[in-house]
């Protein structure tokens, strides 16, 4: 950021007065439209583990730690924890 610049110099507000749900929906629309470098649209395509992977990992987790299971699947421990505890926002709702 250049010295002397403030957020109003580079932030543009597109919508106001939205509910949280409406704001999230609008944000995803804008991400899809502009395809920014640091944001990606939510969805199953971003999942690192398939539903089949998760089912297998659940069986592994009965005798191994999250870290060990994550290493076996090549993902982070937090990714594995989220997948096995239904905390992944991109996962389909059952």
pLDDT at position 20 is 92
Instruction: State how far the Cα of 74 lies from the Cα of 68, in Å rounded to an integer.
Output: 10
Q: How far is CA 79 from CA 50, 70, 75, 88, in A?
A: 12, 8, 6, 8
Res 80: pLDDT? 86
Q: Does the pLDDT at position 1 exceed 60?
A: no
Per-residue pLDDT tens digits for 64-76: 999 999 999 888 8
Quick one: average pLDDT of 83-91? Answer: 72
Give the residue with greater pLDDT, 93 vs 4: 4
């Amino acid at each position: 950021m250049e010295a002397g610049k403030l957020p109003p110099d580079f932030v543009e507000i597109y919508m106001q007065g939205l509910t949280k749900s409406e704001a999230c929906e609008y944000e995803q629309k804008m991400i899809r439209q502009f395809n920014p470098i640091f944001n990606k649209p939510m969805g199953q395509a971003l999942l690192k583990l398939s539903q089949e992977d998760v089912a297998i990992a659940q069986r592994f987790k009965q005798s191994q730690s999250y870290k060990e299971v994550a290493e076996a699947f090549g993902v982070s421990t937090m990714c594995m924890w989220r997948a096995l505890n239904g905390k992944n926002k991109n996962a389909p709702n059952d």
